[in-house]
């Protein structure tokens, strides 16, 4: 774990108390609360397992696990594995997920079709620049943790890849997508990446920070893409203010459902939500 003592923003207010079982706040937790406070309660407060998990979520995390496995071999100075080994990592991840809860597949998809897609994407990945980052790898799926504001508990997350070149310290976030991203889309999705850049800035003091998205598409013929995101103090300050507002709401224990097709169709807490009485 890379644990950094990142200076917090100056304020006269006292820090708010952290939850009993969580002395940190994550980007995913904040986003969950923003989308549905009741889902946040079920997941992070009550720690309830979800009844089902979406196939797209399992696919993304399983492919991510295979890429992580490949990069970790390079981090340790060993010969990196090929497609068969990476595909086995993918399978193991899917089987582990399925042993915990049923996987919900959309119409027209099944486990075999997604595994074929994973094989194509992993083959493309190994043939691309994403598989051999230029520079010295410092961390793979590395835990980063530090301060953002005295009004918040520490922020914790996992950086997919951190590597150093002569020019910069690069934080790279891997994404699977149906199509290539535009630069505008990358900037719109950059809040978490900007936050991780803030948390690693003292890893090598004075070294410029470079932030990148690495995109691997789900096409029949997959493609890869690397997009740089410019660090933005204004955007980071906005993220800080959002986190402070969400944290204040979490501390008030004001949990309620936010019904919508997007929130509810694939949610694994529908039974608990229907039984909720406020």
pLDDT tens-digit series, residues 111-130:
999 999 999 999 999 999 99
Whether 2 has a pLDDT exceeding 80, the answer reads: no
Diameter over CA atoms, the chain? 58
Sequence-distant (≥ 6) Cβ neighbours of residue 114 within 8 angstroms? 55, 59, 105
What's the whole-model pTM score?
0.88
Would you give the end-to-end CA distance of the chain in angstroms? 39
* Main-chain phi, psi angles of 164, to 5 degrees: -115, 135
Contact present, 18 and 153 (Cβ < 8 Å):
yes
Flag whether pLDDT at 12 surpasses 60.
no
* pLDDT above 70 for 9: no
- Give me the pLDDT at residue 265, please: 84
pLDDT at 266: 83
If one looks up domain 134-251 in CATH, what number appears? 3.90.320.10
* Alpha carbon distance 226, 129 (integer Å): 9
pLDDT mean over 176-202: 95
> Counting Cβ atoms within 10 Å, is residue 55 exposed (0-12), middle (13-18) or buried (19+)?
buried
Quick: pLDDT tens for 228-248. 999 899 999 999 999 999 999
Q: Strand (E) positions, 45-153?
A: 53-54, 103-104, 136-146
- Segments making up each domain of the chain, as ranges: 52-132, 134-251
| pLDDT value for 123 | 98
Q: To the nearest 10°, report the CA torsion of 168, 142, 54, 190.
A: -30
The pLDDT score that the predictor gives to residue 168 is: 96
Residue 13's pLDDT is: 41
């Amino acid at each position: 774990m890379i644990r950094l003592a990142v200076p917090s923003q100056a304020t006269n207010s006292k820090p708010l108390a952290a939850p009993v079982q969580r002395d940190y706040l994550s980007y995913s937790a904040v986003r969950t609360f923003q989308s549905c406070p009741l889902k946040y309660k079920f997941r992070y407060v009550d720690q309830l397992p979800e009844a089902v998990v979406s196939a797209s979520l399992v696919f993304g995390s399983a492919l991510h696990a295979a890429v992580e496995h490949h990069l970790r071999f390079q981090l340790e100075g060993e010969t990196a594995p090929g497609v068969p080994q990476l595909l086995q990592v993918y399978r193991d991840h899917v089987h582990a997920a399925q042993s915990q809860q049923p996987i919900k597949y959309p119409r027209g998809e099944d486990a075999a079709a997604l595994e074929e897609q994973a094989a194509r994407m992993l083959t493309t990945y190994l043939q691309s620049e994403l598989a051999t980052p230029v520079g010295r790898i410092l961390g793979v799926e590395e835990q980063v943790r530090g301060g953002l504001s005295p009004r918040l508990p520490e922020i914790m997350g996992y950086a997919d890849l951190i590597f150093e070149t002569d020019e910069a310290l690069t934080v790279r976030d891997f994404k699977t997508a149906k199509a290539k991203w535009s630069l505008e889309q990358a900037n719109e999705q950059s809040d978490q990446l900007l936050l991780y850049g803030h948390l690693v800035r003292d890893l090598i003091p004075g070294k410029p920070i470079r932030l990148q998205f690495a995109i691997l598409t789900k096409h029949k013929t997959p493609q890869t893409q690397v997009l740089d995101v410019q660090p933005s103090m204004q955007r980071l300050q906005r993220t800080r203010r959002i986190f402070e507002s969400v944290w204040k709401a979490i501390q008030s224990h004001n949990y309620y459902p936010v019904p919508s097709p997007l929130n509810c169709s694939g949610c694994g807490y529908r039974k608990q939500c229907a039984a909720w009485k406020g």
